[in-house]
């Protein structure tokens, strides 16, 4: 897309590899980081002069630190009329900021880089055969590249995120309260997102909780699955379900100290579901596709964990952490299949052996690409 669009945006959580990707892909481009106080001051004091230095292409890292710069980039890119001149990276979703989305409309190709996928780790030669290890370790590149233990990596990551990124976005007076909020969110993985319950538990107002969730979402800590829009003449639930982009981060917030604790932890099933759903998100984003992921549940409790709606076909997916398959696992898929003739049923489970059964295709958790 750098040969077609004037501006390329690479956004994703901190430490997901955005800068590495940009510098490897565009090795001849100049590189500047707006986290550097001197660089930021130069950009703020004279934006036109700042941009005029880069005639042959530039990577601007942490570009969200100075949102006004996007208007100047728009003007400069229009004047230069050259594809791929500006590569913008950042740990916030630019398009959620109105000023930025207006400046970049029609000029930018947007891509999100999330932490490593299961397929990427397998391709690098790592053994991916124990989902409890994968859930606990998480998927940030530095963990695997530098062999850092999760109990050393994640507490510092969370502390840095709260003290730097959160304060840049909104004035959170009580950082301890915000960290407590993050822990409560981790305890609700895979559940319907009930703002009121969380607000009551924290002792803050509803508006504050919604604002805090928007921060987590814009900085790629959490995301939601929306309910599928077809109701088949049934009353369906319309509340989104909550997930984290990285299970290792969620484990740290839940106080899980090693993978062995996952065997009996109350959140084991939810974290396994999160592992699968987040990997499906990565599969689509890594192919520049907006993830067409949903869930479905009606008012009587019938549910499908995840739906992939490609338009002509709907993949209906049940997610179970058990390594032993039970016919009960297919109940929700069977019920949904009777309502939607387009549905193709799948079970993703904690085992390693793919199977074909009359109820649907069984996919191993460590080879989710078999879905496609």
- Cα distance between residue 22 and residue 62, in whole Å: 12
Query: Residues of the chain with pLDDT > 70: what percent?
Result: 95
Answer yes or no: is pLDDT of 222 > 70: yes
Answer yes or no: is pLDDT of 166 > 90: no
**What pLDDT, on the 0 to 100 scale, is given for residue 161?**
82
Asked whether 294 and 225 are in contact (CB, 8 A), the reply is: yes
- By DSSP bridging, strand 222-227 and strand 293-297 are parallel
Under the banding of pLDDT at 50, 70 and 90, the label for residue 175 is: confident
**Domain parsing of the chain, residue ranges:** 7-112, 118-371
Q: Please, what is the Cα angle at 322 between 132 and 123, to 5 degrees?
A: 50
| Total-model pTM | 0.93
- Cα distance between residue 6 and residue 85, in whole Å: 6
Average pLDDT, the chain: 92
Answer yes or no: is pLDDT of 42 > 90: yes
Of 315, 342, 313, 340, give the one whose Cα is nearest residue 233.
Answer: 340
The CATH classification number of 7-112 equals 3.40.50.300
Residue 137: both structure tokens together:
């370790």
Under the banding of pLDDT at 50, 70 and 90, the label for residue 105 is: confident
- Cα distance between residue 204 and residue 172, in whole Å: 12
Answer yes or no: is pLDDT of 269 > 90: yes
- Cα distance between residue 214 and residue 208, in whole Å: 10
């Amino acid at each position: 897309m750098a040969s077609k669009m004037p501006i390329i945006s690479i956004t994703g959580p901190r430490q997901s590899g955005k800068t590495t990707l940009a510098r490897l892909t565009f090795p001849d481009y100049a590189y500047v980081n707006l986290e550097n106080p001197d660089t930021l001051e130069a950009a703020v004091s004279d934006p036109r002069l700042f941009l005029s230095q880069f005639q042959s292409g530039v990577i601007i890292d942490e570009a969200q630190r100075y949102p006004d710069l996007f208007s100047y980039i728009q003007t400069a890119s229009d004047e230069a009329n050259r594809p791929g001149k500006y590569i913008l990276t950042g740990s916030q979703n630019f398009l959620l900021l109105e000023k930025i989305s207006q400046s970049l409309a029609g000029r930018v190709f947007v891509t999100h880089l999330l932490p490593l996928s299961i397929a990427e780790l397998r391709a690098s030669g790592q053994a991916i055969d124990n989902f409890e290890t994968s859930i606990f370790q998480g998927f940030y590149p530095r963990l695997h590249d530098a062999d850092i233990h999760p109990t050393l990596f994640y507490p510092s990551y969370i502390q840095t995120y709260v003290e730097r990124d959160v304060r840049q976005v909104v004035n959170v007076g009580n950082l301890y309260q915000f960290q407590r909020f993050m822990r409560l969110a981790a305890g609700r993985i895979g559940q319907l997102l009930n703002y009121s319950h969380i607000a009551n538990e924290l002792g803050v107002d509803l508006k504050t909780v919604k604002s805090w969730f928007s921060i987590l979402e814009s900085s790629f800590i959490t995301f939601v699955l929306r309910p599928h829009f077809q109701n088949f003449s049934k009353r369906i639930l319309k509340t989104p379900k909550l997930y984290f982009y990285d299970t290792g981060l969620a484990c740290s917030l839940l106080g899980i100290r090693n993978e062995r604790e996952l065997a009996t932890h109350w959140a084991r099933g939810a974290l396994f579901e999160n592992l699968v759903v987040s990997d499906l998100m990565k599969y689509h984003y890594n192919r520049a596709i907006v993830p067409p992921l949903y869930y479905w549940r009606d008012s009587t409790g019938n549910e499908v964990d995840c739906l992939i709606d490609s338009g002509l076909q709907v993949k209906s997916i049940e997610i179970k952490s058990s390594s032993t398959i039970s016919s009960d696992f297919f109940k929700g898929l069977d019920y949904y299949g009777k309502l939607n003739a387009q549905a193709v049923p799948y079970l993703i489970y904690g085992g390693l052996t793919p199977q074909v059964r009359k109820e649907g295709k069984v996919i191993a958790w460590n080879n989710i690409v078999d879905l496609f």
